[in-house]
Structure 1
Amino acid sequence: MARSDAGKLSLILLFTPFALWLVLLILLPQIGIGYLSLREKLGPGEYTFGFANYVDFIREPIYWNTLLRTAWMSILVTILALFVGFPVAYYIAKIARQRSRAALFLMCLIPLWVSDLVRAFGWIVLLRETGLISGFLQWIGLINGPVELLYSDLTVVIGLVYTVVLFMIVPLVSTLDGMDDAMIEAGYNLGGSRFTVFRRIVVPYAMPGIVAGCIIVFMLTAGSYLTPILLGGKNSMWFTEQIYEQFVTRYNWESGATFGVLLLAFTSLVVWLGLRLTGQSLASTVAKD
């Protein structure tokens, strides 16, 4: 009996920090944002509740066009991160020697040793008009003068893929590492080509890791702020910039909260559609044992 009570107490003590973190830093802020989004300002210090903020959002094309553009760019970044991350993850999990896997994984972690701000400024040093790439192209004679490579959608996509690709690699390595090599050998023994084995054996087995990585990367990309602003400049048109403008520049917390709720709802809808199209579920991807 005492041993059972001690086990329950240990479980409670271990779970309490996570529960507090979940409630105080995730649940309560989301409830507060939802509450603010439903407040309609009638005058100084006068509020009522309704959906006027959501109606104003729908009536302003620049807002929902920016939201759709952010979603499309985030999907593009997710696809590119998958194409870049899958070969790396497959090599680490199935080809590299056991001793070198830790070193390769550590190399993937190196970009996370510095903040998003430092990584973004690193790209600025490389791509600005007086940057290293422009100077190198002039030195080898491909261009006659400085060229500005910043402040475009391509630059933003490159910076975001570089930032989030690790979050695609980690779940893929975890999934592929559990695949028995005998499955691949059996595919070859049955006459399958490399492409056939990859399409009919490797990809279906790795699908939970693919979906989990895509969910993480998409949500991180859609909620990114520093990289699109610094690398895209005034041309970035990222939805998080609209949220920042409402909260900080205009001090319109009701509209800012509305934008935040809509971003969460829209990205959650995209994730749900992705799960439906792939036939996966959160239980078999993010929550896979």
Structure 2
Amino acid sequence: MKHFLSQPFTLIDNTKQKLILIGFCLVFGIIFINIFLPFNINLWEKDSGIQQFFRLSSFSFIAAIVIACSQFLVRKLLKINSFLLGGFLLWFFGEVIIISLILHLIYGNLTFPFWPEYLQSFRYTFFGTLIPYFSSILIIYMLQQKELNASVVSSKGTGLIGIPDENGVVKLSLLLSNILYIESADNYIAVYYLDVDQIKSILIRNTLKNIENIFTNSSLKRCHRSYIVNINMIKMVQKKSSKLYLHIKNTTTVIPVSRNYTTAFESIIPSVPK
């Protein structure tokens, strides 16, 4: 279980993915709550028609605003670029806690004891948020796989993969086994690879985040805000003062592993020194 929860979770890391999450939760929530009226929510107030529509829809708007603040503002303030799976699940529960608290303060009966009323609000919010939230995660995953299939150029004879630019246009096709590492260079990425016995590089206009998301299920792994490495091209992992350093095959390059990615790398590479 610990190993499972320590797996990297990168499905809501870039702006597009976050907007899909927020937008889907908002639209799905408005449609679902007004059509199916869960928990007899239409009977909570004596209203009808357009007034009831706006009241019910406000639940979804509040949830979407909280998720937007959580994903864009709080994560930025806390400098959380990526989650591990366990951290993502805890973050989701935290969002539900805040949403349910706000809804309770606005719509709850504050004359009743707080905890029984709040726990009921949390239960309604949890089940009301669970389906759209994780449905959007599934949609993001499917879009990511579609992007991967469009970007990775493969054949039975060559096994080439395609490295795309920011518009999805493949700019470099090569064997995955020949890629050494990828480095961030302002608005570009520098792809370092082996050509026979020579080390070469090429600049492509894209971000490490996009490349990380496209090649999630490959041997290309993010280890630092400025680096993605091919874990099959690591010749040595060195630990100095609790920090990990990766020595790349066929080069004298040493790449640091930042604190945010250390746990993930310890699970990816079992031989990483503890």
TM-score between the two structures when normalised by the length of structure 1: 0.21
Name the one with the larger strand percent: 2
> Normalising by the residue count of structure 2, what TM-score does the alignment of the two structures yield?
0.22
Which of the two has greater helix per residue?
A: 1
Which has the higher relative contact order, 1 or 2, with Cα contacts under 8 A spaced 6 or more apart? 1
